[in-house]
A = this chain, B = another copy of it.
Amino acid sequence: MPDPSLGVLLFLPYRHLEQRVLDAVVGAGYPITLAQARVFQRVDPGGSRLTDLAAAAQVTKQTAGFLVDQLVEGGYVERVRDTTDARARLVRITRRGHDAIDVARAVQDEIEGEWRDHLGAEAFERLRADLLRLREITDPWA
């Protein structure tokens, strides 16, 4: 396959990372699906509203609600009252959720280390910086 598109080039390492992190988290005793993890990843440390989660994960609020229900079931998050708005509730990360995040972060650091070794520290930091700049024009939330 000659000259893969930038889209594919972005996707390949993304999927590699995602899959390895997911495998590690599940393997460490935190069963979770990919779809659940994609929402979980977006939960703000201070708690998130369902609507915001849905927007960030680019799914409907129904889908987000469905997945949050499962995350609650798994013990990773809890729903608490939003004292500032009686319609809303906040999705908040539990202790167990934080434990799972710790596992994820460790694997992520490990993988980033591999990438740094392969590219060289300079190129690695450059890559990160370039991606951050790209985010400015590709992330509606940035």
A41 within 8 A of B: yes
A15: min CB distance to chain B, Å: 7
Query: Given known contacts A6-B112, A108-B7, A112-B6, is B133 in contact with A12 (CB within 8 Å)?
Result: no
Nearest B residue to A136 via CB reads B118
* Copies of the polypeptide in the assembly: 2
Report how far A123 CA is from B37 CA in the complex, Å. 32
Interchain CB contact under 8 A, B17 and A131? no
B-chain residues with CB within 8 Å of residue A16 when the two chains form the complex: 138-139
Interchain CB contact under 8 A, A119 and B134? yes
1/0 per residue, CB under 8 A from B, across A99-142: the answer is: 00000000010001011001100010011101111111111010
Query: Given known contacts A8-B41, A17-B10, is B118 in contact with A126 (CB within 8 Å)?
Result: no
Interchain CB contact under 8 A, B126 and A126? yes
Interchain CB contact under 8 A, A13 and B130? no
Which of A7, A44, A112, A118 counts the most B-chain CB atoms under 10 A from its CB? A7
Nearest B residue to A123 via CB reads B130
Nearest B residue to A139 via CB reads B12
Interchain CB contact under 8 A, A114 and B137? yes
Report how far A84 CA is from B9 CA in the complex, Å. 32
- The 8 A-B residue pairs with the shortest CB-CB distance, nearest first, are A16-B138, A9-B131, A10-B14, A13-B138, A7-B17, A12-B139, A127-B130, A13-B134
